[in-house]
Amino acid sequence: MRLVVAISGASGAVYGIRLLAELRRLKVETHLVVSAWGRTTVQVETGHAYQDVARLADACYENDDLFAPCASGSALFDAMVVCPCSMHTAAGIRLGLADSLILRAADVTIKEGRRLVLLVRESPLSSIHLENLLALSRLGARIMVPVPAFYHRPQSIADMVDNTVARLLDQLGLFLEEGQDGTRVPRWGDAQPR
Ligand SMILES: Cc1cc2nc3c(=O)[nH]c(=O)nc-3n(C[C@H](O)[C@H](O)[C@H](O)COP(=O)(O)O)c2cc1C
């Protein structure tokens, strides 16, 4: 499997980093694009430098590099994930702006009929945000929000992050089993706590 992974400047850079680590473990080829504000949130929220995150991907591109493979529909990718996805990036995708690599790659993903998963993060959501997300959903994008589930009794923030990343991977047909690599990603119906 070959994926485009974008990290934009919404809060929740940790989701993008965990996703990249998991995809590496699963031997999925990743082409990473991090927006300028995505780099800021990586630094501010996790303390990691962009280079630390870039090392988790197979290839990295600048957000203004429209020569990158994922800028063209002729380059074959299975899907694209924007994780986390800011409202700015969601709006730009919805409008088909395609003037940065993230927006162009998403535009290509939609026009080629490939899977686009957006882990959107903002709160509260305005009517502008909701209308953009509805339009994207109607275009076939999978809209996910990093809202933690509690039925598996998470013990830590890492548990919550892992669970959201596991559900995101479900959307790509990559199904993690509980306990793999020390993660707690139980599914409803698997030995529920009582
Ligand atoms: C620390 C930090 C946290 C932010 N959190 C969010 C957020 O959760 N959601 C959002 O839509 N924008 C958030 N923003 C604002 C975006 O970074 C801003 O709209 C930016 O233009 C997004 O650009 P990008 O989509 O190209 O990354 C945040 C900015 C900073 C600096």
Q: Is residue 126 part of a domain?
A: yes
Q: Is residue 194 part of a domain?
A: no
The yes-or-no verdict on residue 183 having pLDDT over 70 is no
Q: Is residue 187 part of a domain?
A: no
- Say yes or no: CB of residue 129 within 6 Å of ligand 1: no
Task: For residue 161, give the 3-state DSSP assignment.
Answer: helix
Model pLDDT for residues 67-112, shown as the tens digit of each residue: 999 999 999 999 999 999 999 999 999 999 999 999 999 999 999 9
Spatial strand order of the sheet with 59-61 comes to 59-61, 29-34, 2-7, 79-85, 115-120, 142-144
Ligand 1 centroid – CA 76 distance (Å): 29
Nearest CA to ligand 1 atom 6: 10
Enter the tokens of residue 85: 């996805």
What residues are paired with 116 via a beta bridge? 80
What CATH number has the domain bearing residue 65? Answer: 3.40.50.1950
96 class by beta-carbon count within 10 Å (0-12 exposed, 13-18 middle, 19+ buried): middle
| Number of separate domains in the chain | 1
Nearest CA to ligand 1 atom 12: 10
Ligand 1 centroid – CA 37 distance (Å): 6
Q: What is the pTM of this model?
A: 0.95
Q: Is residue 188 part of a domain?
A: no
What range defines the domain where residue 107 resides?
2-182
